[in-house]
Amino acid sequence: MAFRLEREKATSTPYVLIDEEKKYMKLEGRCFHENVAGFFKDVNEWLDAYLASDFDTFTFDCAISYFNSSTTKLLLNMLLKMNKYASETKKVIVNWITTEDNEIMVECGEDFREDMDNLQFNMVIM
């Protein structure tokens, strides 16, 4: 059975949706949780397994409006993993969704994008 995980957002943690059937993952909201690695443990475990599997496409919508420096590292790690497994037959699309006035997120998206040659990394600026 396809894996599905949905978690509502809280003060310091984002909304999380993983819908394996739709080959889709979404994060939305703010993230500055003290134990961000713990919070994303199951997400990362699923992601590792999915990326290593024989998938054809995967879409990640990242609509985080703010994250702290420890979350930045976690997210970078996720993206590098996606970049490592992505290829012509294993297509990975990342939509970096933010607003024009969100300078921190716009810059962060641009900086991440530079190193993700295998991803289709779209800056979606509303």
Choice between 75 and 86, CB closer to other proteins: 75
Kindly give, in sequence order, each residue whose CB lies less than 8 Å from that of residue 20, ignoring residues fewer than 6 positions away. Answer: 2, 3, 4, 46, 50
Number of residues that bind other proteins (CB under 8 A): 23
Q: Is 68 in the site for other proteins (CB under 8 A)?
A: yes
What's the burial of 6, exposed, middle or buried (CB within 10 Å: 0-12/13-18/19+)?
exposed
Give the range of 15-23, 41-49, 71-79, 83-91 binding other proteins by CB under 8 A. Answer: 71-79
Alpha-carbon distance of 78 to 114, in angstroms, equals: 15
Binding mask 1-40 for other proteins (x = CB under 8 A): ----------xx-------------------xxxx-----
d(CA 8, CA 11): 10
Query: Is residue 44 at the binding interface for other proteins, with CB under 8 A as the rule?
Result: no
Residues at the interface with other proteins (CB under 8 A): 11-12, 32-35, 66, 68-70, 72-73, 76-77, 80, 99, 101-104, 107, 111, 115
